[in-house]
């Protein structure tokens, strides 16, 4: 069954059960200031649960694109996407009358659960043995949903039914309709979620019985297609696979995770751009900017450059179901590409600075000071400055550069640093997050306490990071707080973490911190964290792995500071992932 067949079957099935098909809403909600994006199909109908008389029909069906940035760090796994389509059916204004599958009246649990079962097993032909159901088992504040339990038990062929304390959904935003939900899983992937709006929650968190009850069913289209087509993940479906193949074919160093991130983020960016979001520094604009930047970074890792081709492919597919994409595709693609170019420019600021210095003039000399500025501000190695200058018939005052360098840095000290004696405990995402936090913390400590702060020992696990640093006295509470603030500031700036293979001696010249006593090959891997002005905040010899952007880290906190031998302080810290 193709993804087009599944779409059509869904709409046809609901129409034959008295539903009216309505267009999907914008990803930018216009009726709810408490949320950034459209995250669910019911959102455009939120008011109708309390005011069913305003509903164009008591039974409604839509296929609604939704964006969930909370899952952004999970993208790359088998089931999470930033933008996905939610197939939904909705019932408004149920007050306890008959609850029947056919007709045009509002319905509640009986019809909703039975339609879910019939749609999956009859329309899509899913073997009942692959299906498991869950319902709300109750908690301290709210009773178990026994009605759903009984209806599920009445379904012929369904044998796996579980109660959970988690099946309660909503409200979207701070207040509004919400209630228990009953879910169907195929092979352990959640595919269909019937929410029974029977409470109204207020901004204080109180629940009252709703005068009108209603249904909000959502089924993630891509996931459902994967389950029906019997493929292990959404990227193998006939819907998404062509995009991934495009990225794979045009990358010279392809890996699956980054390929998936590129497809996911570029698609999400296209949807947002088509809905009128512009990349920027605040709110939803910043989410868009971040998606584009992450896709560009992932593309650098796999060596993919054909964004325009990918964007056109995506627009061809999704323009058939999303009017905004059909209408605004050219403008959206142009904006994407210009934002990409801006970001590449930031990353390559050193290059553009150099070109600016040289201008159109033939012949001349770049002073030691200028070369040092390129190095210090943009992390631009002197050899590269020389090479590019030479191409344009210019020379560089290399001695002047060295003088400047000596004025600013005491290179001799940097040989005595010790990084990652303990190494990484594993490659768990939380361990990786702690690893990047470790680099940020060392840089922050050097900023607060001075360049004498070098690393004497280290250990990184998924629980916490530990760093031993050379420092003659106790680090005060104020200094700890300042270092903590700096790290959190760098996290909130969502800075790119760049790995480069560098000439060892060049890396030393660029101030890369090295592990004490370690021997590096002529070409060594160096990780740099570049701040918003293009300056190097942290640079260390390191084999990784690290997050792509510091914004992935969550909240950073220092847990403890203590002595650990003469002139050595030991700090334990951790990042608390955003939930």
Task: Name the site residues for ligand SER (rule: CB under 6 A).
Answer: 40-42, 88, 169, 193, 195, 216-218
Shortest CB 180 distance to ligand SER, Å:
12
Nearest-CB residue for ligand SER: 218
CB of 323 to ligand SER, least distance (A): 22
Find the shortest distance in angstroms from Cβ 422 to ligand SER. 42
The Cβ of residue 350 has, within 10 Å, a number of other Cβ atoms equal to 20
Cis status, amide bond into 268, omega within 30 of 0: no
Least distance (Å) from ligand SER to the CB of residue 193? 4
* Least distance from ligand SER to the Cβ atom of residue 190, Å: 8
Question: How many CB atoms neighbour CB 326 within 10 A?
Answer: 14
Give whichever of 132 and 421 is closer to ligand SER, judged by the CB atom: 132
Q: How far apart are CB 41 and ligand SER at their closest, in Å?
A: 5
Which tokens in the block code for residue 521? 């090959």
Q: Which is nearer to ligand SER, 40 or 357 (CB)?
A: 40
Enumerate residues 6+ apart whose C-beta is below 8 A from 577: 73, 430, 433, 554
Give the contacts of 450 (CB within 8 A, at least 6 positions apart).
none
The DSSP output letter for 251 is: B
Closest approach, Cβ 459 to ligand SER, in A, equals 41
| Of residues 172 and 510, the one with the C-beta less far from ligand SER | 172
Q: Please give the Cα distance from 440 to 529 (Å, whole number).
A: 8
Closest to ligand SER by CB, 195 vs 288, is 195
- Decide whether 41 or 496 has the Cβ nearer to ligand SER: 41
Q: In the numeric block, which tokens belong to residue 476?
A: 């005060």
Which residue, 169 or 378, has its beta carbon nearer to ligand SER? 169
Q: Which residue, 6 or 513, is less far from ligand SER as judged by CB? A: 6
Tell me which residue of 319, 338, 339 sits closest to 328, measured CA to CA.
Answer: 319
Q: By C-beta, is 120 or 247 nearer to ligand SER?
A: 120
By C-beta, is 195 or 382 nearer to ligand SER?
195
Q: What is the DSSP annotation of 474-516?
A: PPPHHHHHHHHHHHHHHHHTT-BEEEEEEEHHHHHHTT-B--T
Q: Are 77 and 106 in contact (CB under 8 A)?
A: no
| CB 34 within 8 Å of CB 83 | no
Q: Is-contact 179 135, C-beta < 8 A?
A: no
CB of 12 to ligand SER, least distance (A): 20
Residue 292 to residue 287: CA distance in whole angstroms:
9
How many residues are there in the chain? Answer: 579
Q: Which two tokens stand for residue 407?
A: 């004025």
Beta carbon nearer to ligand SER, 216 or 468: 216
User: Least distance from C-beta 223 to ligand SER, angstroms?
Assistant: 11
| Edge-to-edge strand list for the sheet holding 536-541 | 497-503, 523-530, 536-541
Token digits of residue 417:
């640093």
Closest distance between ligand SER and the C-beta of residue 218, in Å? 2
Give the integer Cα–Cα distance in Å for 152 and 162: 10
């Amino acid at each position: 069954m193709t993804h087009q067949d599944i779409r059509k079957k869904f709409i046809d099935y609901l129409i034959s059960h008295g539903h009216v098909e309505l267009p999907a809403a914008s990803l930018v909600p216009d009726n709810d200031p408490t949320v950034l994006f459209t995250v669910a199909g019911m959102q455009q109908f939120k008011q109708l649960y309390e005011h069913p008389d305003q509903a164009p029909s008591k039974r409604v069906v839509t296929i609604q694109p939704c964006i969930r940035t909370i899952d952004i760090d999970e993208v790359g796994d088998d089931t999470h996407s930033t933008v996905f389509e939610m197939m939904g059916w909705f019932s408004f204004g149920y007050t306890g009358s008959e609850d029947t599958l056919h007709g045009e009246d509002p319905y509640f649990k009986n019809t909703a659960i039975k339609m879910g079962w019939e749609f999956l097993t009859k329309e899509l032909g899913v073997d009942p043995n692959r299906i498991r159901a869950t319902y709300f088992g109750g908690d301290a504040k709210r009773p178990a949903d026994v009605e759903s339990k009984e209806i599920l038990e009445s379904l012929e062929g369904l044998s796996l039914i579980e109660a959970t304390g988690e099946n309660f959904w909503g409200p979207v935003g701070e207040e509004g309709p919400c209630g228990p939900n009953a879910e169907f899983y195929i092979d352990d992937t959640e595919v269909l979620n019937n929410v029974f709006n029977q409470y109204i929650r207020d901004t204080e968190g109180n629940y009252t019985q709703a005068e009108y009850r209603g249904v909000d069913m959502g089924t993630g289209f891509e996931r459902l297609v994967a389950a029906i087509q019997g493929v292990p993940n959404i990227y193998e479906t006939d819907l998404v696979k062509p995009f991934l193949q495009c990225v794979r074919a045009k990358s010279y160093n392809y890996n699956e995770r980054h390929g998936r991130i590129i497809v996911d983020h570029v698609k999400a960016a296209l949807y947002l751009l088509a809905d009128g979001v512009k990349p920027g520094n605040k709110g939803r604009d910043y989410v868009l900017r971040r998606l584009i930047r992450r896709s560009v970074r992932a593309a650098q890792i796999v060596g993919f450059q054909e964004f325009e081709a990918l964007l056109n492919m995506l627009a061809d597919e999704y323009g058939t179901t999303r009017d905004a994409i059909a209408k605004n595709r050219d403008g959206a693609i142009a904006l994407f590409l210009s934002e990409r170019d801006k970001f590449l420019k930031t990353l390559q600021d050193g290059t553009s600075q150099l070109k600016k210095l040289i201008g159109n003039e033939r012949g001349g000399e770049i002073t030691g000071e200028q070369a040092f500025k390129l190095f210090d501000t943009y992390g631009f190695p002197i050899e590269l400055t020389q090479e590019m200058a030479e191409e344009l018939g210019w020379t560089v005052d290399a001695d002047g550069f060295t003088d400047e360098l000596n004025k600013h840095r005491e290179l001799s000290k940097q040989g005595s640093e010790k990084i990652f004696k303990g190494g990484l405990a594993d490659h768990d995402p939380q361990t990786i997050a702690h690893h990047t936090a470790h680099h940020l913390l060392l840089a922050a400590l050097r900023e607060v306490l001075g360049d004498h702060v070098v690393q004497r020992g280290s250990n990184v696990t998924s629980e916490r990071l530990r760093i031993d640093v050379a420092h003659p006295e106790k680090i005060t509470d104020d200094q700890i707080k300042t270092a903590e603030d700096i790290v959190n500031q760098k996290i909130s700036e969502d800075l790119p973490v760049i790995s480069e293979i560098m000439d060892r001696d060049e890396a030393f010249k660029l101030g890369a911190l090295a592990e004490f006593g370690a021997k590096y090959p002529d070409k060594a891997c160096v990780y740099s964290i570049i701040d918003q002005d293009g300056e190097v905040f942290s640079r260390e010899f390191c084999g990784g792995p690290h997050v792509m952007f510091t914004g992935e880290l969550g909240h950073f906190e220092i847990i403890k500071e203590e002595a650990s031998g003469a002139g050595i302080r030991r700090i334990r810290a951790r990042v608390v992932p955003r939930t």
